[in-house]
């Protein structure tokens, strides 16, 4: 646990470190990033000074808020992006509309659409790919190696645990209600990465959570991903608060971009989530539920 803490500290310090290391050979192509995780990686690789604009999903780190926002990555405006005079637009396969991207290419903007990352491996691949795109292969390799250490550590723990705890992931966005993170979501992928099973795998996509379903899910641990700090108030969800997992501290409430975007903070997310999983999941939950009767 102490080792992980150290690693975490190192990771958090990483952007600053990488930034100072890379300023040397920076040849300034102007970049627009239209994806939160891509933006985080660009910052982590120390090329934030080349960023001239980001989309609305880019909220981390803090400095990103000083950059012009070109809107949502599914509705990219051609003129808006072009007005920032970028040489390069880096985004994901989720970007739309097709026409804007084609037109940008036609007027000489390089457009890169990265695959969507939904596993630790894909996160590393994405970091390497971006490193190559912005001439920061070394920094990317270093970052990937750091993350790899954490991922390997997590994998070991998953193997040692033997059983897969049942985890409920809730998404709190927009101030009203919360949604279950069902199958075929980033939430599901995240739970897979920490060797947990999804407590609501029978639900597909993000669906509004009902109070009854929360009780019947009876998970071993609970994760709440907030789109903004303070969006989730446990006082509004008494049925969640009375679940054994919540009462016993097997819970985490945190930033949804860190948890679900599969960017450089994935290691941080995995370490935190691994930390809240019960040691002997099945035994404890049976005990707890019997206790509850």
| Residue numbers at the binding site for other proteins (CB under 8 A) | 53, 56, 68-72, 74-75, 77-84, 94, 96-100, 103, 106-108, 184-185, 204-207
Q: How far is the CB of 96 from other proteins (least distance, A)?
A: 7
Look at residues 128, 123, 134, 141 and name the one whose alpha carbon lies nearest to residue 90: 134
H runs (alpha helix) in 23-60 = 36-44
Q: Exposed, middle or buried by CB within 10 Å (0-12, 13-18, 19+), for 230?
A: exposed
Residue pair 158/194 in contact by the 8 Å Cβ criterion: yes
Nearer to other proteins, 103 or 110 (CB): 103
**Tokens at 230, concatenated:** 């303070």
Nearer to other proteins, 80 or 177 (CB): 80
Question: What's the CA gap between 47 and 187, in Å, rounded?
Answer: 29
Residue pair 255/268 in contact by the 8 Å Cβ criterion: no
Q: How far is the CB of 30 from other proteins (least distance, A)?
A: 13
Nearer to other proteins, 33 or 185 (CB): 185
Question: What's the CA gap between 72 and 11, in Å, rounded?
Answer: 28
- In the numeric block, the tokens 């999983």 are attached to 277
Nearer to other proteins, 108 or 229 (CB): 108
Nearer to other proteins, 147 or 187 (CB): 187
Which residues lie below 8 Å from residue 9, measured CB to CB, with a gap of 6+?
none
Residue pair 127/264 in contact by the 8 Å Cβ criterion: yes
Nearer to other proteins, 18 or 81 (CB): 81
Nearer to other proteins, 80 or 254 (CB): 80
- In the numeric block, the tokens 């750091």 are attached to 146
- Which region holds residue 46: left if phi is over 0, alpha if psi is between -120 and 50, else beta? left
Q: How far is the CB of 81 from other proteins (least distance, A)?
A: 7
Q: How far is the CB of 89 from other proteins (least distance, A)?
A: 12
Question: What's the CA gap between 171 and 191, in Å, rounded?
Answer: 13
Q: How far is the CB of 219 from other proteins (least distance, A)?
A: 21
Q: How far is the CB of 76 from other proteins (least distance, A)?
A: 9
Nearer to other proteins, 97 or 175 (CB): 97
β-strands 166-172, 179-181 pairing: antiparallel
Q: How far is the CB of 101 from other proteins (least distance, A)?
A: 11
For the chain, the distance separating the N- and C-terminal CA atoms, rounded to the nearest angstrom, is: 34
Question: What's the CA gap between 170 and 253, in Å, rounded?
Answer: 9
Q: How far is the CB of 201 from other proteins (least distance, A)?
A: 15
């Amino acid at each position: 646990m102490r080792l992980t803490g150290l690693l975490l500290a190192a990771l958090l310090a990483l952007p600053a470190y990488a930034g100072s290391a890379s300023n040397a050979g920076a040849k300034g192509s102007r970049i627009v990033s239209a994806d939160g995780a891509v933006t985080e990686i660009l910052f982590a690789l120390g090329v934030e000074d080349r960023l001239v604009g980001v989309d609305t999903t880019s909220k981390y780190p803090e400095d990103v808020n000083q950059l012009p926002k070109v809107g949502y990555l599914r509705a990219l405006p051609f003129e808006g992006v072009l007005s920032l005079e970028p040489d390069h637009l880096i985004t994901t396969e989720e970007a739309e509309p097709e026409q804007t991207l084609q037109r940008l290419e036609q007027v000489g903007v390089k457009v890169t659409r990265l695959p969507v990352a939904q596993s630790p491996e894909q996160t590393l691949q994405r970091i390497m790919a971006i490193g190559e795109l912005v001439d920061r292969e070394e920094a990317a390799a270093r970052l990937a190696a750091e993350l790899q250490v954490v991922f390997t550590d997590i994998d070991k723990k998953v193997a040692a645990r033997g059983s897969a705890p049942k985890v409920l992931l809730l998404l709190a966005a927009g101030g009203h209600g919360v949604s279950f993170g069902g199958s075929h979501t980033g939430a599901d992928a995240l739970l897979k990465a920490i060797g947990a099973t999804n407590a609501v795998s029978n639900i597909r996509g993000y669906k509004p959570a009902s109070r009854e379903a929360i009780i019947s899910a009876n998970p071993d641990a609970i994760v709440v991903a907030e789109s903004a700090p303070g969006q989730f108030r446990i006082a509004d969800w008494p049925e969640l608060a009375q679940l054994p997992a919540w009462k016993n501290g097997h819970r985490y409430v945190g930033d949804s971009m860190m948890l679900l975007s599969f960017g450089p903070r994935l290691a941080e997310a995995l370490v935190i989530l691994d930390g809240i999983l019960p040691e002997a999941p099945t035994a404890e939950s049976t005990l707890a539920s019997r206790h509850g009767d």
